[in-house]
Amino acid sequence: MNRKNLSKKEREKGKERIDTILKEFEPEKENLISILHRIQDEEMFNYIPEEAVEAVADYVGITTSEVYGVISFYSMFSIEPRGKHVIRVCTSAPCYVMGSTTVIDSLKKVLGIDISETTEDTLFTLELSSCLGTCDIAPAMMINDEIYGDLTEKKIKKIIEAKKHE
């Protein structure tokens, strides 16, 4: 989804949505991360568009550079459009030892994309995570907010197929 290709009506709807989200929070710098999460979690976006960065900066009284600094520091934020299902593969030491590289290779093969890419149908985006906190079920991945562990190539194919039909 390229925001530049949106119609004027769609861009206006996005701006209205951002304004509505901002009103859910007090205009304080302490709310920055919560605001960014809320915008990114909005189904209409699934990332943080440029116009949201500008609106958030104005709302909490900081510069856009400061907002971008926070976005770039935390790996869970994205300024690029992402798929409906964001897949994060754990690359911590326990997951690595238990086969996270095999999980990554399987996902690349099944999805036909590389790390930090989104499928053409915009269903999936593949990302890496330094830790998901699920060492007991390594190797693990998270799709949106759902954790999957003890992964095998067969399990991965089954999970991806099921997600295609959600």
For the chain, give every domain's residue range. Answer: 3-73, 85-164
Q: How large is the average pLDDT for residues 29-49?
A: 92
What secondary structure, in 3-state letters, does the chain show? CCHHHCCHHHHHHHHHHHHHHHCCCCCCHHHHHHHHHHHHHCCCCCCCCHHHHHHHHHHHCCCHHHHHHHHHHCCCCCCCCCCCEEEEEECCHHHHHHCHHHHHHHHHHHHCCCCCCECCCCCEEEEEECCCCCHHHCCCEEECCEEECCCCHHHHHHHHHHHHCC
Against a cut of 0.85, is the pTM above it? no
Task: List, for residues 52-103, the tens digit of each pLDDT value.
Answer: 999 999 999 999 999 999 999 987 899 988 999 999 999 999 999 999 999 9
Q: Is 80 exceeded by the pLDDT of residue 5?
A: no
Class of domain 85-164: alpha beta
Q: Is 50 exceeded by the pLDDT of residue 3?
A: no
pLDDT value, residue 7: 74
Task: List, for residues 112-136, the tens digit of each pLDDT value.
Answer: 999 999 999 999 999 999 899 999 9
pLDDT value, residue 2: 44
